[in-house]
Structure 1
């Protein structure tokens, strides 16, 4: 097991986000009130009600099965959900709380997905929490085994990307906010103006696509009408859970430029980067701009000037190590995109649009 000493997203957070993607109405967190507080609060903005059993010290010793039954019943009476989820936490799972027994005792007239996640699930990889949700959802009849297996394969590949190319490589990575967005934006705009062949690669996770899509949302004709950039994107609206497919539909309808090649779906970012690279390998490019999950893209295979745009300050150093010429960081992508169905402003996208006016 690789020891990672800087903070990482936990399996519990991945559990919450994946339950959200299942379109659950309510999530009951079986643990202390403060467990995964920020993620729980953010999901309220996405229309998911998150409540907690509020376990205390005595519950860590004596158990809190009754509290879970009471909370399930109260949440149902309050919100009348059709689909609920229970997210385990370190406190409840380490002492062996039985989520299925609580569901049977509560006997609610709705489907409840029990997920026995905690901070140390598996090797502590956040994707383990998502995989637990998928397996539990199959058992509850919410999704098919085929769809779960496809998503689990993607999650396992995502873990591999993080451990080999991202911020789970086993060393402390200091947060870094990257290069000047203004300077890099001017570099990109100048390349287009100077007839350089530029490719934009949207390779992004789920709802964060609403922010990263803003980077390509400019009118290239204002820069150089004879130099249309290549744009490829993982915006296949036929792949993934209904919520994820709808994100792709929404974004494609709001873009000023249509992707010339669709690399896959929004939950396939570990493999869509390689699909993009294969498409671009013979295009005789001068510059590649990769945004969303740029560390999945094999930039080392291209001898060109390159730009990576990430939402992780701890990914700036690994991206430079991979060979990107310029790296910039967008902040708070999740918090800015939860609850939206429209493209939202990105700092780098705004800088590109501003740079169009600066470079006369």
Structure 2
């Protein structure tokens, strides 16, 4: 697919992946402004991000010495447990050998070099670029590496078929009015209709999407609703910790959910969730996180309430038959660095009905 709308950067994808691998200090080898926004956001989540701040002089003569100096400084000042050196377009163009810089710096901290730049159409290339050296370093095994590659392929396929990449340009939208959708949802749940409430969320976004399910349970505690969540204990270190924390919060709210998939399996989880839907035969479904992962044939004849954090996800969800679509704006920044379920706007709207 050739996109004519902005897409996630493979450099940023690499940064998020090293965070999930347990890296607590990353060095961006490039200009100081590269991936600035996400670097700052990730610092809220416990990943310290430094930069070699390459400028025009290094663009010509190379920046390996600068990288070595920053590596030594990082080890001395911050005493990290793991370091990742993440490439940029500049380091790629000038042909920097980041692995050699790690060796020549003399640091003792376990470190990997992630050779990546922004010139990939798919951001999953950044994820793979981080996972492969992590496997070589023994941070993950080969089985987990292959598992991750399979999940990335599945997630990409979902985006191409029914997500924000289903056509070259998707018009962003704020979705339906939350108080109107919340009213319809509460009426469905409290009127005796059979329902299913699904959390199929991507990684840390589940900290807020889970609140939508909790809010529905609080508002309609005796409703005939089966709760299904993708919180099985699999994946990279941070993913497993987040799943355990969120599941504990859901159970503390009085919900005993069906476990279906892990937090990194959101894109490959559609058929498994679909089979549960077929078994239950609900009248309505609430889907929070990545609703478009569920193939539309499983949702035929069901009133669907979907909650996403992507303004460009509204149009495809509507096109594929979702009756109500609401958007949690700025969800991702609000779920970085948190260690407990956080309130959602739609969840609070449900509570207010």
TM category (shorter chain) comes to over 0.9
Structure 2 distance, partners of 1:97, 1:163, is 34
How far does residue 338 in structure 1 lie from its aligned partner after superposition? 0.8
Distance 1:254 1:125 in 2: 34
- State yes or no: 1:234 paired with 2:233: no
Provide, for residues 150-186 of structure 1, a one-character-per-residue CA deviation record: whole Å limited to 9, x for no partner. 1111011111111121112342112111000111011
SS at match of 2:160: helix
Whole-angstrom distance in 1 between the partners of 2:161 and 2:216: 36
- Report the secondary structure of 2:280's partner residue: coil
1:159 corresponding residue in structure 2: 156
Q: Contact between 1:300 and 1:322, CA under 8 Å: does it hold in 2? A: no
Q: Could you report, residue by residue, the CA deviation over 1:106-148 in whole angstroms, capped at 9, with x for unpaired residues?
A: 0211111110111113xx2111111111111011111111111
CA contact (8 A) 1:220 1:228 kept: no
Aligned match of 1:352 in 332, 350, 353?
A: 350
Instruction: Could you list the structure 1 runs, at least 4 aligned residues long, displaced by more than 6 angstroms after superposition.
Output: none
**Structure 1: how far apart are the matches of 2:171 and 2:22?**
36
* Residue of structure 2 in register with 1:74 after alignment: 73
Please state whether the residue corresponding to 1:186 is helix, strand or coil.
helix
Measured after TM superposition, the shift of residue 16 of structure 1 is: 0.4
The one-character-per-residue Cα deviations of 1:274-322 (angstroms, maximum 9, x if unpaired) are 2111111132211111110111112343211111111111111111111
List per-residue Cα deviations over 1:252-283 (Å, max 9, x = no partner). 11112434421111111112232111111132
Partner of 2:11: 12
Partner Cα separation in structure 2 for residue 273 and residue 316 of structure 1:
18
- Cα distance in 2 for partners of 1:193, 1:228 equals 9
Q: Where do residues 255-266 of structure 1 align in structure 2 (5 Å cutoff)?
A: 255=250, 256-266=253-263
The match for 2:246 among 226, 251, 267 is: 251
DSSP 3-state at the match of 2:269: helix
Q: How does 1:1-360 map to 2 (within 5 A)?
A: 2-121=1-120, 124-218=121-215, 220=217, 222-223=219-220, 225=222, 227-237=223-233, 239-255=234-250, 256-302=253-299, 303-355=301-353
- Contact conserved, 1:193 with 1:223, CA < 8 A, in 2? yes
State the distance in 2 between where 1:332 and 1:22 align: 25
Does the CA-based 8 Å contact 1:210-1:337 persist in structure 2? yes
- Could you tell me how far 1:222 is from its partner in structure 2? 4.9
Q: 1:307, 1:22 → 2: CA distance?
A: 34
Separation (CA, whole Å) in 2 of partners of 1:94 and 1:165: 35
User: What is the RMSD of the two structures over their aligned residues, measured on CA atoms?
Assistant: 1.4
- Structure 2 unaligned runs (5+)? none
Q: CA 1:281–1:79 in structure 2 vs 1: closer, same or farther (change >3 Å)? A: same
Q: Across the two proteins, how many residue pairs are aligned to each other?
A: 350
Q: Greater shift after overlay, 106-115 or 61-70?
A: 61-70
**Alignment partner of 1:218: what SS?**
helix
Q: CA deviation at 1:3?
A: 1.0
Would the alpha carbon gap of residues 347 and 250 (structure 1) be closer, same or farther in structure 2, given more than 3 Å must change?
Answer: same
Please give the TM-score of this superposition, normalised by the length of structure 1.
Answer: 0.94
